[in-house]
Amino acid sequence: MYLCTTVAALRCYLRLWQIEQRPIEPEVGLVPTMGALHSGHLALIERARQQNDFVIVSIFVNPLQFGPTEDFQKYPRQIEQDRQLCQKAGVDLIFAPTAIELGLVTATESATTAVFPPQSMTSVLCGRSRIGHFQGVATIVTKLLNLIQPTRAYFGQKDAQQLAIIRRVVADLNIPVEIVSFPTVRESSGLAKSSRNQYLTAEEKEQASVLYRSLRQAELAFQGGERSSARLIAVTKLELATVQAIEPEYIELVDPTTLMPLQQIEEVGLLALAARLGTTRLIDNIILRNRQPIVAIDGPAGAGKSTVARQVAQALKLLYLDTGAMYRAVTWLVLESGISIEDEPAIAEIVSKCDIELGMGDEPQAPIRVWINGQEVTQAIRSLEITSHVSAIAAQTPVRQELVKQQQRWGEKGGIVIEGRDIGTHVFPDAELKIFLTASVQERARRRQQDLKNRGEADLSLEQMQQNLSERDWKDSNRNIAPLRKAPDAIEIQTDGLSIAEVTDRIITLYREKVEGQSSTLAN
Ligand code: AMP
């Protein structure tokens, strides 16, 4: 692991490393921090490691985001301990510049030190008392994104306003990066992990746990059907008031994307609060979402994912989000429009404007119905011509990015079963149930051969089939686009010797236990 403190060293290191990787274009994950790393930061780093080839952690206590009366001087700085934690966590590079190095202060003249996100986002919640804070954050994050040009940058849901503002800045300034959020990591008491918790005494830590308890009370009310903002806020306030030492600064319910206040929750709301405890200012929040569960099934080729996913969806009355059908629909549109399948920019253009609809078939076994731009293509996308072109189209980055975006839009409502290679790690890392289906190469080769025989197609020898699958596994795990990855919280099911029905039953039982909270005896 390298530790760079200058921009020159960072640039040099990145350039040399990228040259070494050619012709592969490696994916880089950036985790921006102010140091004093704790398990919240480490969780972000772990997610970044799962999704990228190279992970950079920046450590910079950003003077622009501290007000004159805030704790800039006393903010914990412990670079040696951070370095050891990063090393253990498998970070590839730490970037820890000084303010001068980052060009925030120059000897002779002032620098460009403000990116101004929309005032409607910076003047609410924490922005009311922390004047200039979010401009400071936006400026420094923009600088880091420009310097490092990562594929993805990771931010904690704990700082929900920061996350919403960064997403907005990245969209408004067309910065080519994917912003990935990560749920808040908490102590067992519920207290959100924070570098500022170091300021708290043991007693204060205990008192501070009321923040999350009060949010949980609102969540319970929400789960019981309460949707009114005023009443959810009142529930939170009531619980917060049980600890006298806590002085609430604000409790607000807003839209998590725009940060506009909500009167009531339709689909989703961000319930956020800030409070003082002695001289320490603490924040916390939860997302209240009217969402059905998501089941993500990943695994290598030939593990039976699509058949199982379809049957699980049917049994649980969820929608099988057939991503293959989406790629087929786009392929149909490309061929129909007369665009060459090599013309990536033209394909990117039509894909970014297309509208795909999926619906359940009329009969239980019928394929998913598919419409693209209002035209039904359920049958048309199963033609041989589409089959022979779909991989080439699906391998194009803009196609994949657009379709993942569409899949995630579906995910906002939930109620879906979806299968692939990186659904649990990338497309829906917050899925309620993640399954990783595997089978030995021998078993998968045997199944493939049986399938081909059933369809009356020319078959390969078992050895040849095994070799093909091993090669495919290697490629799928190492490809640039959507590589095969198992989420750490996925449940692995080894399917050797199990029938499709047995695998499906196992997943349904897990769903009943984990998602619906029923015991396995009830499920059976
Ligand atoms: P900071 O060092 O406080 O600026 O935080 C760096 C990143 O870590 C930000 O994106 C934070 O939102 C994130 N982070 C901090 N605390 C937590 C936590 N308890 N859980 C998840 N992410 C966190």
Helices assigned H by DSSP within 304-440: 305-316, 323-337, 344-353, 384-394, 397-413
Instruction: Return binding residues.
Output: 34-41, 65, 156-159, 162, 185, 193-196
Contacts of 44 (CB under 8 A, 6+ apart): 31, 154, 155, 156, 182
Cβ atoms of 422 and 484 closer than 8 Å: yes
The encoded tokens of residue 428 equal 């829906």
Going by their DSSP bridges, the two strands 369-372 and 356-359 should be labelled as antiparallel
Supply φ then ψ for residue 178, to 5 degrees: -100, 125
| Residue nearest (by alpha carbon) to ligand 1 atom 11 | 156
Task: Indicate if ligand 1 lies below 6 Å from the C-beta of 155.
Answer: yes
Helices assigned H by DSSP within 224-279: 229-240
| Residue nearest (by alpha carbon) to ligand 1 atom 12 | 156
Q: What is the pLDDT of residue 428?
A: 92
Shortest-distance atom of ligand 1 to CA 158:
12
Shortest-distance atom of ligand 1 to CA 195:
3
Going by their DSSP bridges, the two strands 268-277 and 280-289 should be labelled as antiparallel
Whether omega before 23 lies within 30 degrees of 0, making that bond cis, reads yes
Q: Cα(first)–Cα(last) distance of the chain, in Å?
A: 50
The Cα 465–Cα 446 span in angstroms is 8
| C-alpha of residue 61 to centroid of ligand 1, in Å | 13
**Residue 452: exposed, middle, or buried by beta-carbon count in 10 A (0-12, 13-18, 19+)?**
middle
The Cα 332–Cα 498 span in angstroms is 36
| Residue nearest (by alpha carbon) to ligand 1 atom 6 | 33
Distances (CA, A) of 514 to 111, 290, 424: 53, 18, 16
| Residue nearest (by alpha carbon) to ligand 1 atom 5 | 33
Contacts of 35 (CB under 8 A, 6+ apart): 59, 60, 61, 76, 77, 78, 79, 82, 96, 195
Pocket test for ligand 1, best of 37, 44, 154 (most atoms within 8 A of CB): 44
Q: What is the pLDDT of residue 37?
A: 97
Give per-residue burial for 229-246: e unless 16+ CB within 10 Å, then b: beebbebbeebbeebeeb
Pocket test for ligand 1, best of 34, 158, 169 (most atoms within 8 A of CB): 158
Shortest-distance atom of ligand 1 to CA 156:
12
SS3 (DSSP) at 140: helix
Please, what are the domains in the chain?
2-182 (3.40.50.620), 195-289 (3.30.1300.10), 293-313+421-524 (3.40.50.300), 319-414 (3.40.50.300)
Q: What is the pLDDT of residue 61?
A: 96
Task: Indicate if ligand 1 lies below 6 Å from the C-beta of 421.
Answer: no
SS3 (DSSP) at 295: strand
The encoded tokens of residue 313 equal 């969806």
- Residue located via tokens 């370095």: 83
The encoded tokens of residue 135 equal 């401009």
| C-alpha of residue 516 to centroid of ligand 1, in Å | 30
The Cα 376–Cα 358 span in angstroms is 10
| Residue nearest (by alpha carbon) to ligand 1 atom 14 | 156
The total number of residues written for the chain in this structure:
524
Instruction: Return binding residues for (R)-pantoate.
Output: 65, 162
Amino acid at the residue 194: S
Task: Indicate if ligand 1 lies below 6 Å from the C-beta of 195.
Answer: yes
pTM above 0.85, yes or no: no
Pocket test for ligand 1, best of 38, 41, 194 (most atoms within 8 A of CB): 41
The Cα 480–Cα 483 span in angstroms is 6
The encoded tokens of residue 387 equal 């089959």
The Cα 195–Cα 155 span in angstroms is 15
Instruction: Return binding residues for ATP.
Output: 34-41, 156-159, 185, 193-196
Q: What is the pLDDT of residue 449?
A: 81
Residues annotated catalytic, as ranges: 41
The Cα 488–Cα 477 span in angstroms is 16
Shortest-distance atom of ligand 1 to CA 41:
8
Shortest-distance atom of ligand 1 to CA 184:
20
Q: Which DSSP helix (H) or strand (E) runs through 223? A: helix 210-223
Give the Cα-Cα-Cα angle 410, 412, 417 (nearest 5 degrees): 55
Instruction: Return binding residues for beta-alanine.
Output: 65
Shortest-distance atom of ligand 1 to CA 162:
12
Report, in angstroms and rounded to the nearest whole number, the Rg of the chain calculated over CA atoms.
25
Cβ atoms of 358 and 368 closer than 8 Å: yes
| C-alpha of residue 160 to centroid of ligand 1, in Å | 10
Q: What is the pLDDT of residue 108?
A: 59
| C-alpha of residue 148 to centroid of ligand 1, in Å | 19
Mean pLDDT of the chain: 91
Torsion of CA 116, 121, 127, 128, to 10 degrees: 120
Q: How many CB atoms lie within 10 A of CB 482?
A: 19
Query: In this predicted model, what pLDDT tens digit does every residue of 314-356 receive, in sequence order?
Result: 999 999 998 889 999 999 999 999 999 999 999 999 999 999 9
The Cα 370–Cα 458 span in angstroms is 30
SS3 (DSSP) at 190: coil
Q: What is the pLDDT of residue 1?
A: 94
Query: In this predicted model, what pLDDT tens digit does every residue of 8-67 receive, in sequence order?
Result: 999 999 999 988 888 878 899 999 999 999 999 999 999 999 889 899 999 999 999 999
SS3 (DSSP) at 494: strand
CA atoms within 13 Å, Cβ hemisphere of 205: 16
Which DSSP category does 426 fall into? I
Task: Indicate if ligand 1 lies below 6 Å from the C-beta of 34.
Answer: yes
Task: Indicate if ligand 1 lies below 6 Å from the C-beta of 44.
Answer: yes
Q: Output the 3-class SS for 314-337.
A: HHHCCEECCHHHHHHHHHHHHHHH
Contacts of 517 (CB under 8 A, 6+ apart): none
Q: Which DSSP helix (H) or strand (E) runs through 251? A: strand 246-254
Over the chain (524 residues), the average pLDDT of each successive run of 10 is 95 91 88 97 93 94 92 94 98 95 71 88 97 95 97 96 97 95 93 95 97 97 96 98 97 97 94 96 94 92 86 92 92 96 94 90 75 95 89 89 90 91 88 94 86 74 85 78 82 92 94 71 32
Please, which residues bridge with residue 492 across strands?
436
Cβ atoms of 232 and 216 closer than 8 Å: no
The distance of Cα 188 from the centroid of its chain, to the nearest Å, equals 24
| Residue nearest (by alpha carbon) to ligand 1 atom 10 | 155
Task: Indicate if ligand 1 lies below 6 Å from the C-beta of 159.
Answer: yes
Q: What is the pLDDT of residue 109?
A: 63
| C-alpha of residue 40 to centroid of ligand 1, in Å | 6
| C-alpha of residue 158 to centroid of ligand 1, in Å | 6
| C-alpha of residue 447 to centroid of ligand 1, in Å | 46
The Cα 322–Cα 311 span in angstroms is 12
